[in-house]
Amino acid sequence: MIETLFTPDSGFTKGMAFPKKRKSLVFTQEELEKLQKIRKARTEEKRRTIRAGILLDAVSGKMSDQSIARAHGMNRNTVVLCVNKCLRFGWEAALGELPRTGRPRRLSDDATAWVLHCACQKPKARGYSYELWTYALLTQHIRQHCEAAGYPELRHLSRSKLHQILTQAKLRPHKVRYYVERRDPDFESKMAAVLHVYKEVEIINEGLVRGTLREAPLITIS
């Protein structure tokens, strides 16, 4: 079977054709009604409603994968993956997520956000004598307080995992720059002298405005 690729802008692409390798989707009337209901449902996850729409568009045979992807605002590979998953595992599996290979995810987004929140605080604000976090100190702090914060999965947080989290967030709490302000021991007396001059100028200006002074007894340049 030969399928011709059509585009809405140019009619069709210069006689471009390619063999249709995969099988056609086939649903019972009951399955079609369920997919229609899911696509229109407002209480369903958006991911499921979009995938239901992809399957319904694909089963009609009137749209290419590229056209379906464009209609749903996604790339073509997502459409192909959804249809192939349906052909292999059924439409219910195509609407959800299949178990992924490898180790399951250990840290939730909330736990990661809490780690970053801790890293952005000063150690002294948490009762430590250090000015800056070290990886060892921050790792220890997180392990000690994670359960109270509601993230027990961080009890075994490793230093390398902490480094990975901070690197991805572009945080370097052990490399914060500080500046040291020079303190003048005579600051108090100098400040009093400056304020005295300001007050003296204010009194002279008021006297000139009211007419109690004909001319300024002195000229102050700031």
What local confidence, expressed as pLDDT, does residue 176 receive?
A: 59
**Residue 147 and residue 194 in one domain:** no
Residue type, 191: M
pLDDT tens track for 76-114: 888 988 998 898 888 988 887 655 555 555 677 788 888
Please identify every stretch of the chain with a pLDDT value under 70, giving residue numbers as ranges: 1-21, 97-106, 174-184, 187-188, 222
**Residue 140 and residue 216 in one domain:** no
Structural domain boundaries, residue 81? 2-95
What local confidence, expressed as pLDDT, does residue 78 receive?
A: 86
pTM of the predicted protein model: 0.39
| Structural domain contains residue 176 | no
What local confidence, expressed as pLDDT, does residue 190 receive?
A: 75
| Structural domain contains residue 158 | yes
| Structural domain contains residue 101 | no
- Type and span of the H or E element at 13: strand 11-19
Is there a contact between 68 and 54 (Cβ–Cβ < 8 Å)? Answer: yes
Q: How far apart are CA 185 and CA 177, in angstroms?
A: 25
